[in-house]
């Protein structure tokens, strides 16, 4: 009797985990470069993505690494690995889309209840963060689905002109 119940349950479990593996492969696939513009890379949906080839990252992945370690790592842990206080963003970005990421970082999020307070601050008026939203997303996406190892990326592409212009107008204006 137990065997007859357990077998279909096992089949379901295998189906479910197979599905999970496929979803993660899909996310990796979704992050593939479909176009580029002056050293910035985009996926097929037009969302920013990373380039990581022969140990060299695109400029935005490198910049995101630096920004992450100045404004996010205190709570989310080095390299996006998470902490006892805040979730591992290198895991979150396996499934979280670009729009959701941007709105959480801009608006923050509060989770208060059961004697536990968990607060993601809003960075919508912090230039050091909002001027580099794409950089942060691109870096964390590379950590989540691009096999980017922990630590400072050793080699990077040159800083594109458009990144310099965006920085000057966003930080200055
Ligand atoms: C003061 C601590 C703190 C800092 C600094 C911080 N976060 Fe958070 N963040 C949190 C907490 C806590 C949560 C979980 C909130 C919740 O439970 O809803 C969170 C959640 C998030 C989420 C949602 C993750 C998920 O899996 O749902 C994203 C995305 C995020 N943070 C991005 C960032 C980025 C990018 C930065 C740096 C610019 C940053 N955070 C800086 C504390 C912080």
Q: How far is the CA of 163 from the centre of ligand 1 (A)?
A: 25
Number of domains in the chain: 1
pTM: 0.89
If you search the block for the tokens 């920004």, which residue do you land on? Answer: 67
Give me the domain span that covers residue 27.
Answer: 22-94+127-172
CA distance 99 to 54: 30
CA distance 31 to 98: 11
Summary mean pLDDT of the chain:
90
- Domain for residue 84, yes or no? yes
CA distance 54 to 59: 14
Nearest residue by C-alpha to atom 39 in ligand 1 = 72
- What pLDDT is stored for residue 92 in this prediction? 97
Q: How far is the CA of 161 from the centre of ligand 1 (A)?
A: 30
- Domain for residue 133, yes or no? yes
Nearest residue by C-alpha to atom 9 in ligand 1 = 120
24, 27, 31: which is closest to 46 by C-alpha?
Answer: 31
Q: How far is the CA of 120 from the centre of ligand 1 (A)?
A: 4
- Domain for residue 101, yes or no? no
- Domain for residue 77, yes or no? yes
- Domain for residue 142, yes or no? yes
Task: Give residue-wise pLDDT tens across range 95-146.
Answer: 999 999 999 999 999 887 777 788 999 999 999 999 999 999 999 999 999 9
- Domain for residue 104, yes or no? no
- Domain for residue 138, yes or no? yes
- What pLDDT is stored for residue 16 in this prediction? 53
Sort strands 116-120 and 52-53 into parallel, antiparallel or unpaired. unpaired
137, 2, 160: which is closest to 68 by C-alpha?
Answer: 137
- How does residue 155 score in pLDDT terms, banded at 50, 70 and 90? very high
Of all residues in the chain, the percent with pLDDT exceeding 70 is 85
- Domain for residue 137, yes or no? yes
If you search the block for the tokens 């690494």, which residue do you land on? Answer: 65
Task: Give residue-wise pLDDT tens across range 25-79.
Answer: 788 999 999 999 999 999 999 999 999 999 999 999 999 999 999 999 999 999 9
């Amino acid at each position: 009797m137990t065997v007859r119940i357990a077998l279909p349950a096992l089949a379901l479990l295998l189906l479910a985990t197979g599905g999970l593996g496929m979803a993660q492969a899909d996310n990796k696939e979704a992050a593939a470069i479909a176009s580029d513009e002056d050293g910035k890379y985009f996926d097929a949906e037009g969302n920013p993505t990373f380039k990581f080839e022969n140990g060299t990252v695109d400029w935005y992945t490198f910049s995101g690494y630096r920004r992450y370690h100045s404004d996010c790592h205190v709570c989310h842990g080095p390299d996006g690995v998470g902490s006892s206080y805040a979730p591992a963003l290198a895991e979150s970005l396996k499934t979280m889309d670009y729009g959701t990421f941007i709105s959480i970082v801009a608006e923050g999020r509060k989770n208060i209840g059961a004697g536990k307070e968990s607060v993601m601050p809003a960075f919508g008026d912090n230039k050091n963060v909002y001027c580099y939203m794409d950089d942060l997303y691109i870096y964390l996406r590379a950590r989540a689905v691009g096999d980017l190892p922990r630590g400072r990326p050793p080699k990077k592409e040159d800083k594109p002109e458009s990144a310099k212009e965006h920085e000057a107008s966003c930080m200055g204006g």
